[in-house]
Amino acid sequence: MSQVIVVGAGNWGRNLVKNFHQLGALAGVAEANPELRAAVETTYPGIPTYQTYDDALEAEDGPIVLATPAPLHYAMALSALKAGRDVFVEKPMTLRAEESRHLAEFADAHDRILMVGHLLLYQPAITWMRDYLASGQAGRVLHVATQRAALGKVRTEENVWWSFAPHDVAIILELLGSPKISQVKATGQALLQPQIEDFVHVDLQFEGGQSAHLHCSWLWPEKQRGTVVIAERQMLVYDEIRQVLTVHDKSIGADLKNDDRGSQGIEVTAAEPLKIECQHFLDCVQNRQRPRSDGWNGVAVVEILERVQEVLRG
């Protein structure tokens, strides 16, 4: 099994450190903050730690897992790829679509594994929805709506769209079969800081007529996370907070009359998506297979993030 070097052991990086360690695949941790580095050394005695990214690259030769601030993703991922390493990079892949495309092209040209941390694609409920919709039982998917809102951690370097939306954009593309986008409408409000939106509403139109709506907010009284799928014959509702997935056998016919045939709760596995995601990266490295959330999946998400940002800025 490949042994990875996790770069960044902060709020999210510590979760990656924990999971790769539990999988027996942690070779080392690079962390500039001395307190965080000491915490890693205390929790995982015997695991090498490094003060700088360059120190880790020189000392270890395994795949690189980047859990660093988004502005650093491009340069650090490119450096690792050029050093011949496979790379896992947290979302968003980069802050510019041009940079994401360069990483994906470089990885393909040099036979490197490049995977993006679109965690919710590895959530068992989302996997079930994707496979169920692909079976055609619900009919053609017409619309996907997502909501991700809470009284959350307010950022100063990025707005709520870049902070929250990568998860939901990835889900929407997954459930719709990765269609090409044709139109973007977006509105947002910056109530706490100038030019940093605290809540955003986005409408996406795709080639072929499918559509999506996203609502993101970190200035919201209740935690709400969920996905609704409207298809020709059925509707799916996933409550991410309660981990409840329901198939509604409901539709509106050609005569515009409601047809309600009831609903059914779906039992999904309680497996942890982060552990599934980490294991998937290890498997892809071992078997030289393309990840489910590969570099081009990262490109598609960043392209939409970037287009919405342009609309918000007018």
Mean pLDDT over all residues of the chain? 95
What is the value of pTM for the model shown?
A: 0.95
Superfamily of domain 4-118+274-294: NAD(P)-binding Rossmann-like Domain (3.40.50.720)
Q: Following DSSP, what letter does each residue of the chain receive, concatenated?
A: ---EEEE--STTHHHHHHHHHHTT-EEEEE-S-HHHHHHHHHHSTTS-EESSHHHHHHH--S-EEE-S-GGGHHHHHHHHHHTT--EEEESSS-SSHHHHHHHHHHHHHTT--EEEE-GGGGSHHHHHHHHHHHTTTT-SEEEEEEEEEEE----SSS-HHHHHHHHHHHHHHHHHTSPPEEEEEEEEE-SSBTTB-SEEEEEEEETTS-EEEEEEESEEEEEEEEEEEEESS-EEEEETTTTEEEEEEEEE-TTS-EEEEEEEEE------HHHHHHHHHHHHHHHT---TTBHHHHHHHHHHHHHHHHHHH-
Task: Render pLDDT for 294-304 as a digit per residue (tens, 0 to 9).
Answer: 999 999 999 99
Q: Residue 1 has what pLDDT?
A: 67
**Class (C level, CATH) for 121-272+304-313:** alpha beta
Task: Render pLDDT for 200-220 as a digit per residue (tens, 0 to 9).
Answer: 999 999 999 999 999 999 999
What are the structural domain ranges in the chain? 4-118+274-294, 121-272+304-313
Band of pLDDT at residue 43, cut at 50, 70 and 90? very high
Determine the average pLDDT of the residues in 135-140.
96
